[in-house]
Each structure stands twice: as C-alpha cells, then as structure tokens.
Structure 1
Amino acid sequence: MADQVLMELGDRLRVARKVEGSSGAVLASRAGVTQPTVSRVENGQRVSSVEAVERLIAALPLPPEEAERLTSMAREAYALASEGKRVDSGVSLVPDAARKLFTAASRVRGFQSATIPAPLRSSEYAAAAGADSDSGADWAKNLDDAGKSFEFVVTESALRTWPGSGESMPAQLEHLLTLAQRPNVSLTVIPWGVGLPVMPPHGFTVCDESGVLVETFTATMTLTGSEHVAAYRDAFEALAAVAVTGDEFRRVVEDVAADLTRFIQ
C-alpha cells in the first residue's frame, strides 16, 4: 500500500516539475535537498524523512488543495512504512558479514574522502594503517575476478593523507596507477577545488543492490535496507559525476606523487 502511494506521489511531482519546466537540480536547490533526493522521490522510493518530500511539494507551484493532498499522502505512506519497523532494521555488525557481502557482489562501488579504499591498498599502506583481517590484501583478492566490476571514487585529499611516516605512499600511488589499467576496475578522483554534490560523513561501499558497507572506527557496519542502498547508490552516482578519470586521474596522482617528495625523504 505504501509503495503504491509513493509511486503515485512521485509521478505527480515529476509531472508538476516538468510542466513548470524545471530541472531536478533546480528543484533540489529551491527545496534545499540534494538532486538524488528529487530523483528518488520521483521514482517512488523512500528518502530519509518525509520532511524532504514535504519541502519538494512546497517548492512546486501546486494549487493549495493539491499540495495539501500530496502532503497528506506522503505522511500517510511514511507512517505505514514505519509501522512495526525497528530502528535498526537492515543494520548488521555481525563479524564477517561485510566480507561476505563484498565477495558475493558482481558490481562494487566505493567512495572514500580520507583514506585509500581497502581493496586498493598496497600491503605497505595496509600495514602502516594498522589494517586488521577485514581489510588490505584480503579485500584486494576480489579484484582478480574479471567477471566482477569495481568502481571507486576518492577525493584528492585521500591521496594526500597517509598513515604513519608516509613511506608507503610512493608505492601506494604507483599501485593505484597499475590497478587503473585493469578492464574491470574504474578509478576516479575528485580534485581539489571541485565542490561535492553530497557530503557523506564517512566512506562507504555499495555492493550490487544488496547492501552497503560503512566503515566505523571499530567495525564495518552492513546496511541492507532498500532505503539505505538507494541513498548510498544515489550519493555515489552524484560523486562519480564530478570525478575525473583516465589521463586526468593519472595527472592528479602524478602531481600528488611529485608533491610528496617535499614531505617524505
């Protein structure tokens, strides 16, 4: 029932936006939400809160009666979807759950803003970072499966931040350039000076449409609720859209490597 209401609501909002002639980005800016939020709502998907939907409704030039009707629909749908649902539904901290989800995925999409993603770490970097059994080389083995695809977005800050003395960084940067040559691996970087369309407070990895891995300081949390997967998937797509790849990616990595010589002797 709730899903049908959300689909109807999304269709009506999409029609209203197109009649007005606004893009999703324009509507998102006017409503104070992200563009992925607009896309998810228009496609009948849940977002983090009903308040975001209400802001979209208020930002469209709808007749007062229809705006009130759509707001009531949104509140009813979100209330129905929440009935009987635990606040921790779809969240797991079970040991090894993250590794199993990652290994089973055929398409992996990851983002990091402060560190090198675990599957891309050289053994020296992983050791310097104090990697445990859930990171480093154990994760990297999955990249050897040519039947799987891996897409990673990192910020330039992640390339310019290192564990310990930084002695592991020259080899780590070279390792990234080598991995970028693999046909099943896509490496992109968001250079300094480029604004982020979304601001994730932590790194994350989306495994197919099955779940999301979120690294905390003490553990890797597994999120399997559809709303979590959709939110992180949309965030990844928005971040990937402003990242550079290919020759531009190589140039950024080589510039970072050159700058490192001033700090690492």
Structure 2
Amino acid sequence: MDLEAIGELLQEARKRSRCSGASLAARAGVSQPTVSRVESGQRVASVEAVEQLIAALPFSQEEAKRLTLMARDAYALASSEKRVDAGVSLVPGAGRKLLASASAVWGFQDAMVPAVLRVPEYATAAGGGAGSFADWDRVLADEGKSFRLVVTESALRTWPGSGEFMPAQLEHLAAVAERPNVSLGVIPWGVGLPVMPPHGFTVCDEAGVLVETFTAQMTLTGPEHVTPYREAFEALFASLLELAPVRHPAPGR
C-alpha cells in the first residue's frame, strides 16, 4: 500500500471520529502540518509520526497493527528509492499539494502578484490560466492556514499584457488583506533591503519552498533549501515592519 492510500485511510478514520486535524495532532503528539502531510500522502521525517497517528485514531488492535506494518513497509520502500521530491523537483502538481497541506505560508514577490492572489484575468495574461482562481481562493479561505505575504511596489506597478484587469486585481488584494488569516505588506520603491532574492518564492511550513520559473514551478525540499528562504523572508518582513506596522494573521487552528 502506498503513502497516499494510507493517508486516505487515516483521514477517513479521523473524520468518522469527528476529530479535527489540530485535535488529532495534540492527541498523537505531532504537529498539525504533520497530520496534513500524512493525510495527503506526503512523506514526513520518520514513520514513527505515522505510527503515533494510527495509535491515536479509533482503529481496532488488529487494524492498527496492519496499518502500522503497511506504513513501515511503505517508508522502507521510499527510503530505498530516490525520492522524486528530494532536493529539487519539477513534478507537476507537487507545489500545489505542498501548499494545500501547509498550515503557515510565507511568500515574497518582486516582479508579479503572488499566484495565490491573482484574479483570473491576471493569471491568464501571466500564462497561468484562469482556472486556478477558485482553487487559490479555497486555499485562502481556509482559516486553519496563516499567510504572510510581501510584495514590492514594482510588482504592483507592472503587469502582464494590457493591464485592463489591474483595478479588479488591486481591489482583490485589498479584500484579501482584510481576511483574519492573511497579512499583506508592500515594500515601496527607494527602500534598501537586507537581502535581495533573485526571484520570488513561497515557503510552506518547514516542508518546502515553491519557486515559479518561466516554464515550470520548482519544489525545493530539505533544510539546506528551506532554511535560507525562511531566513530571507524573515529579514524582508522585518524591514517592512520598520516602515509601518503590519497586521499579523491569526494563528492557524
């Protein structure tokens, strides 16, 4: 049985018991992002976390033993093979899956409106397609997630195509910034920055970083990638706070 099938079984058991992800995390002694990652079929640091979740759910002794053995076999197999999401991955959909499972998201863009904030017309002009807007809006509407997003003024003063959609785009940004789980800050022109990333990026918990290139979206995993991006974002966010107070989103539940 693969990790996705195990994750689906755990999620079904949690929902049957009317238990939230946060409650299960507390009961099992793991983090809420771990619950999300396991349920979505992603590999976490060790199989022990999966075993703790199994033990915390209302499985019979026989079912729990069977699932535990399956999880151990799946992790042993994954460890013996090269993971497609290890280090740098261009697997389609990997980034969206990572974002969907994250409880905390930090993003920086200096050239474009972040993908999660784009209206359909902007997305289409940028080459991303209009169909993603509903999916992104559902992600933002999940108040169990917190978003801290920083853009430069130049990202709002340049646009793809004619820009006829920019009034609607700016209205959407203003509306999203009012959500309790979102903070959005703009770094104005003429401000010296403590770090200058060569591209925009999105950090998802401590699990990975999404980098949008001209032809694909890269997913970077591992502390050697995630830590530098998290530190870069914290430095940028701190410079923004020096200019004006920024409302922090409510903690994820």
Band of TM-score, shorter chain: 0.5 to 0.7
* Partner AA of 1:210 in structure 2: A
* Partner AA of 2:181 in structure 1: N
The reply on whether 1:111 has 2:108 as its aligned counterpart is: yes
**Aligned 1:52-91 pairs, distance under 5 A:** 89-91=86-88
Q: Deviations over 1:108-162 (max 9, x none)?
A: 0000000000111112211222214895442232001011101100000001011
Aligned equivalent of 2:208 = 211
1:191 and 1:237, CA in 2 relative to 1: closer, same or farther beyond 3 A?
Answer: same
The reply on whether 1:177 has 2:171 as its aligned counterpart is: no
Report how far residue 164 of structure 1 moved: 0.6
Aligned equivalent of 1:102 = 99
The reply on whether 1:225 has 2:211 as its aligned counterpart is: no
Aligned partner of residue 147 in structure 1, secondary structure: coil
Gaps in structure 1 of 5+ consecutive residues: 1-84, 250-265
Aligned partner of residue 215 in structure 2, secondary structure: coil
Report how far residue 193 of structure 1 moved: 1.1
1:246 and 1:191, CA in 2 relative to 1: closer, same or farther beyond 3 A?
Answer: closer
Aligned equivalent of 2:120 = 123
* Identity %, equivalent residues: 71
* Partner AA of 1:116 in structure 2: V
- 2-structure distance, mates of 1:98, 1:165: 29
Tell whether the 8 Å contact from 1:211 to 1:229 is kept in structure 2 after alignment: yes
Aligned equivalent of 1:235 = 232
Backbone CA RMSD of aligned residues = 2.5
Aligned equivalent of 2:50 = none
Tell whether the 8 Å contact from 1:153 to 1:189 is kept in structure 2 after alignment: yes
Tell whether the 8 Å contact from 1:109 to 1:151 is kept in structure 2 after alignment: yes
* Partner AA of 2:222 in structure 1: G
**Normalising by the residue count of structure 1, what TM-score does the alignment of the two structures yield?**
0.57
Gaps in structure 2 of 5+ consecutive residues: 1-81, 247-253
Q: Deviations over 1:141-200 (max 9, x none)?
A: 200101110110000000101111110111111111111100000100111111111111
Aligned partner of residue 242 in structure 1, secondary structure: helix
* Partner AA of 2:101 in structure 1: A
Aligned partner of residue 94 in structure 1, secondary structure: coil
- 1-structure distance, mates of 2:131, 2:196: 25
- 2-structure distance, mates of 1:178, 1:200: 27
- 1-structure distance, mates of 2:137, 2:121: 13
Report how far residue 95 of structure 1 moved: 1.1
Larger radius of gyration: 1
Deviates more, 1:239-248 or 1:97-106: 239-248
**Normalising by the residue count of structure 2, what TM-score does the alignment of the two structures yield?**
0.60
Tell whether the 8 Å contact from 1:93 to 1:222 is kept in structure 2 after alignment: yes
